[in-house]
Every structure is written in structure tokens, then in C-alpha cells.
Amino acid sequence: MTRLAFIGGGNMARSLIGGLLKTGAAASSIRVAEPQAQAREALGREFGVATFAENRLAAEDADILLLAVKPQVMPALKAELRDLLQRQRPMLVSIAAGVRLDQLERWFGSHLPIVRCMPNTPALIGAGATGLCANARVSPPQKAQAQHILDAVGLTRWIGDEALMDTVTALSGSGPAYFFALVEALEDAAVAQGLPRETARALAAQTCLGAGRMLAESGEAPGELRRRVTSPNGTTQAALESFAADGLARIAANAIGAATRRGAELAAELDAKEPRP
Ligand SMILES: NC(=O)C1=CN([C@@H]2O[C@H](COP(=O)(O)OP(=O)(O)OC[C@H]3O[C@@H](n4cnc5c(N)ncnc54)[C@H](O)[C@@H]3O)[C@@H](O)[C@H]2O)C=CC1
Ligand SMILES: O=C(O)[C@@H]1CCC=N1
């Protein structure tokens, strides 16, 4: 049984733990380090996993350490885990946005197998999307182990070029928020025309779900699905022409660009905080 220790028990850790347990992982194989007492208590109660206030205690004897803290917290783990990572050689799996493999190697040791991945919050309901990349120390069986953890909560894709992980973060890591924002805007527009809020929300959310399922399940390209909704000179055509006139493609490209740049900045901010050799 692979022993898995989460360092950080926040939103993403909860999503991943929930998914793993649903797909048959034993609660006894999972430990979680989380500084907040309330969060520890909730993790123990809801998932039946062992929780620890100290990272070292959770990490002891783990085969895999899943680093699920904010990027800014990552360097602080270094001192706490250094001794243990010399004695044991677990695989590290980081889900922190922006944080690069070379930074993780510098902080935790270049002797370690390390996987950098980017999941998203729909992992909580088994509908996550994760991009992964690995350093050269990760063996094929370890790659399979890392993938198995993320497969438990949705779709996975290996990304050969780590430089593209910030693009993955911009696309699918942050992506759920874009669809939520679009649904909010559509709902507000319909409410402004007089539709009751509850009705507008239900119709918009179900439309998002239906479109998402068609994209995932039909095997058809989004353009083809779009064309089938769009009757010549009909209502959809009027709306899509309005989107195009307002620059939808440019809006999306700018947003993906902004998120990608922010990922690189998060990493650069961590580099800037380190003392120069
Ligand atoms: N929220 C999202 O949609 C996604 C987040 N991520 C990444 O996942 C990571 C975690 O994000 P969330 O779960 O959203 O944040 P969160 O704030 O919900 O969870 C982080 C947890 O780490 C704990 N923590 C703080 N300092 C710690 C320390 N020194 N040792 C151990 N635990 C400590 C906090 O108490 C908190 O419970 C981030 O690096 C983020 O970039 C990745 C994909 C999607
Ligand atoms: O907003 C963020 O920085 C994190 C990474 C992807 C989703 N949430």
C-alpha cells in the first residue's frame, strides 16, 4: 500500500483526498499535515484520515509527499523537511501554481524524484483536469503512481515541456473560474431582462453542464457542436456575431496570457526572496 502524506490540507488537498477515497484508496494510507486545528478536525471527521499539526510527523515513512500549500509557503517547508528528505527518498508531488521543478530540486534536493502537476477544483467531484510533468529522477513506476493519484479525480495529461505548465495552469487550473464568471455574467444579463434569479441561475448552470458533457462525451470538435446550435440567421448567430464584434477571441487570449505571466511571476517572486549565493 502506497503511503501518501499531504503537506497542507486546504481546498485542493480536500478535493484530491475525497477523490482518492471514492476510488478505493484506504483512509489509513493517507496522512495530512495541516496547521489549522479546525481544518484538521474536519479532515479527520469527513475522511477518516490521520492528521498532524507538524509536517515532519505526517511525512515520516511516506512514499509520496503531496505538497498542497500556497506557492509562497513552499520555501518554508524546506528547513522542516530537509533532514527527513535526506534519510528517506519519497517522491514529491507539487500542485503549486508557477513553482518550477528546478526550484523544488533546489529547496528539497536534486536527488529526489519530483512531479509538478496542476489539477483543478472539479477534482472534488471526480471531474478534474490535471497536467503533469516530471524531473529525470522519476522512474516509470513512480510516474504511474503519480498519474494514478490524479486519475482518481479526473482526466490527466503529461506535459513534455515544463515551460508549458504555466499555460496549463492558465487553461485548466484557473479555467473553472472562467466558466463560473461567464455563467454569472449570463445570469445577470437574463435577470436584467426580467427572468427570476433562481430560474436564470438554474438554466445557465444546466446549459454549462450540458455543453460541457457534450464536449467531453461526443468526441466532436467544439466548432462542430457550435455550428449545430447555430441556425442560419437565427438567435445564436446574432449572439455569436455580437461576441465576435466585442472580441471574444482576443478577450480569451489576453486572459490566458495574463494568467500564464502570473504563473511565471509567482516563481520569480520566490527566486527573488532567496539569498544570492
Ligand atoms: N484552488 C485551486 O483551484 C487550485 C490550487 N492549486 C494550488 O494548490 C495549492 C493549494 O491551494 P488551495 O488548496 O486552494 O489553498 P488553501 O489555502 O485552501 O490550502 C493550503 C493549506 O495549507 C496550509 N498551510 C499553510 N502553511 C502551511 C505549512 N507551513 N505547512 C503545511 N500546511 C500549511 C493552510 O492552512 C491551508 O489549509 C496552491 O499552491 C495552488 O497554487 C492548484 C490547482 C488548482
Ligand atoms: O489562482 C491560483 O493561483 C490557483 C492556481 C490555479 C487555480 N488556482
Q: What are phi and psi of 157, to 5 degrees?
A: -140, 130
Q: For residue 43, which of 64, 63, 58, 23 has the smallest C-alpha distance?
A: 58
DSSP code per residue over 31-94: EEE-S-HHHHHHHHHHH--EEESSHHHHHTT-SEEEE-S-GGGHHHHHHHHHHHHHH--PEEEE
User: How many angstroms separate the alpha carbon of residue 174 from the centre of ligand 2?
Assistant: 5
**Ligand 2 test: best mutation among 174, 256, 270, most atoms within 8 Å of CB?**
174
> What pLDDT does 210 receive?
98
Please work out whether the CB of residue 97 comes within 6 Å of at least one atom of ligand 2: yes
**235 CA distance to ligand 2 middle (Å):** 35
In whole angstroms, how far apart are CA 150 and each of 13, 55, 115, 116?
A: 12, 22, 11, 12
pLDDT tens figures, 90-110: 999 999 999 999 999 999 999
Cβ of 130 closer than 6 Å to ligand 2, yes or no, is: no
Confidence of residue 82 (pLDDT cuts 50, 70, 90): confident
Query: CB of 169 within 8 A of CB of 26?
Result: no
**On the CB side of 60, how many CA atoms lie within 13 Å of its CA?**
7
Binding residues for NADP(+): 7-12, 68-71
Is residue 277 very low, low, confident or very high in pLDDT (cuts 50, 70, 90)?
low
| Calpha distance 31→40 (Å, rounded) | 11
Minimum-distance ligand 2 atom for the alpha carbon of 262 = 3
CATH code given to domain 175-246: 1.10.3730.10
Q: What is the location of CATH 3.40.50.720 in the chain?
A: 4-165
Angle at 37 between CA 151 and CA 77, to 5 degrees: 60
Report whether 12 contacts 19 (CB < 8 A): no
* CATH class of the domain defined by 4-165: alpha beta
Can you tell me which atom of ligand 1 is nearest the CA of 77? 29
Q: Provide the pLDDT confidence category of residue 9 given band limits of 50, 70 and 90.
A: very high
| pLDDT computed for residue 100 by the predictor | 97
Q: Residue 267's beta-bridge partner residues?
A: none
CB 49 within 8 A of CB 31: yes
270 lines ligand 2 (CB under 6 A): no
> pTM score, two decimals?
0.95
**pLDDT tens digits for 208-256?**
999 999 999 999 999 999 999 999 999 999 999 999 999 999 999 999 9
Please name which of 29, 48, 36 lies closest in space to residue 8, comparing C-alpha atoms: 36
Task: Pick out the residues of the known binding site for NADPH.
Answer: 55
- Residue ranges matching CATH 1.10.3730.10 in the chain: 175-246
User: Is the CB of 70 inside a 6 Å radius of any atom of ligand 1?
Assistant: yes
Helix (H) or strand (E) holding 215: helix 197-217
Asked if 16 and 6 touch (Cβ cutoff 8 Å), the reply is yes
Ligand 1 pocket check for 74: Cβ under 6 Å: no
